[in-house]
Amino acid sequence: MAAIQRERKTFLCVCLNPVIQKTLVFDRLVKDEVNRCGAQRVDASGKGVNVSRVLVQGGRSALHLTQAGGPTRDWFLSLCAADGIDLRWVESGSEIRFCYTILDRSDRSATELVEEAKPVAPGTGELVLREFERILPDCDALIISGTKAAGFDDGIFPRMVRRARSSGLLVVLDIKGRDLLSCLPERPDIVKPNLHELLATWPLDDKNDAAPRAEKKDGGETEEQLRRHVGAVAAELESRWGARLVVTRGGRSTWYWDDNALHEEGVTARPALNPTGSGDAFTAGLAATLAEGGSLAEAIREGTRLGGLNAERLKPGSIE
């Protein structure tokens, strides 16, 4: 029997905080000493770039919408072009920030050093929304990932979600805090934070009344306490906003809400070279499978597979 050919979907990936990512590899990192790296690489990054790159590497059609400015703008644009990313951008006057992944081979640790972005120029948000409206009719799914640079109005993400939902697009949100909470009334399909981001948005000792929350530090909660808390948040998200929750936990199993229950998908232990971008690879597999008609369980399995492939590679947000 011939294989069923699924219609090719186009994904619009939005991230308003672009990055030039430097990955530095050390045989052994010693604090307060001069450390010379044994290997290094430079890539266009930011959560949305990583999602877009994995979708493209998987044979999907993806457009990436962002802002860019400053003296390293053209470098960032050339790095995206080299990866085959169909980048749509507006001039923001905001210098592209650098972030650093420090890999220590002696203990297999990965440390992230993150710069904050410079504020965007006034009016940048309206330019982004104008471009968003122009390209949205060509898309089948919207994925919003990561933080936004300073200077954007808090209403920009909710406006995008509202517009996408009114056009019948699948909407996947990999954001946190106020940005996430403000989007919930627009009824996104999938909310996909990692566990740390979920606890920063809905602290364990709170009543989950969908108001912005201060970040709670790890208080040594048990696995069962965390699972009950995630289940309570997930049940409220679905009953109140019609959104299904997916919570990744790094090398531990993923929790997700489906059929009025919290389910668990295991993660196979494998040697990790660079875990940076694995959550974004997961998001790409999750959204792609759902948009192509797969079940949430199938989407979780595909996201897990792609997250694992990413971790085995030095390049962040990559499966090949």
Distance CA 264, CA 231 (A): 11
Question: Is residue 82 one of the residues assigned to a domain?
Answer: yes
pLDDT of residue 271: 80
Q: In Å, how far are 36, 195, 246 from 186, measured between CA atoms?
A: 49, 23, 18
Say whether 306 sits in a helix, a strand or coil. helix
Distance CA 261, CA 263 (A): 6
CA geometry: angle 188, 21, 14, nearest 5 deg:
20
Outline where DSSP puts E strands in the chain.
10-14, 19-26, 39-45, 61-69, 86-95, 97-104, 109-114, 141-145, 170-174, 190-191, 244-249, 252-258, 261-265
Say whether 42 sits in a helix, a strand or coil. strand
Question: Is residue 216 one of the residues assigned to a domain?
Answer: yes
Which domain CATH number covers 220?
3.40.1190.20
Question: Is residue 320 one of the residues assigned to a domain?
Answer: no
Contacts of 171 (CB under 8 A, 6+ apart): 141, 142, 144, 161, 164, 165, 186, 188, 189, 190
User: Any idea of the CA torsion for 54, 319, 285, 180, to the nearest 10 degrees?
Assistant: -60
**Residue for token pair 């492939």:** 309
Question: Is residue 165 one of the residues assigned to a domain?
Answer: yes
Domain of 220?
Answer: 10-311
Please tell me what DSSP assigns to residue 147: -
Q: How many domains does the chain have?
A: 1
Per-residue pLDDT of the chain (320 residues; tens, 9 = 90+): 344 444 679 999 999 999 999 999 999 999 999 999 999 999 999 999 999 999 999 999 999 999 999 999 999 999 999 999 999 999 999 999 999 999 999 999 999 999 999 999 999 999 999 999 999 999 999 999 999 999 999 999 999 999 999 999 999 999 999 999 999 999 999 999 999 999 999 998 754 444 334 334 445 578 999 999 999 999 999 999 999 999 999 989 999 999 999 999 998 887 889 999 999 999 999 999 999 999 999 999 999 999 999 999 999 999 99
Please tell me what DSSP assigns to residue 88: E
Measured between its terminal Cα atoms, the distance across the chain in Å is 30
pLDDT of residue 210: 40
Question: Is residue 319 one of the residues assigned to a domain?
Answer: no
Question: Is residue 3 one of the residues assigned to a domain?
Answer: no
Question: Is residue 212 one of the residues assigned to a domain?
Answer: yes
The HSE-up count of residue 205 (CA atoms within 13 Å, CB side) is 8
Question: Is residue 73 one of the residues assigned to a domain?
Answer: yes
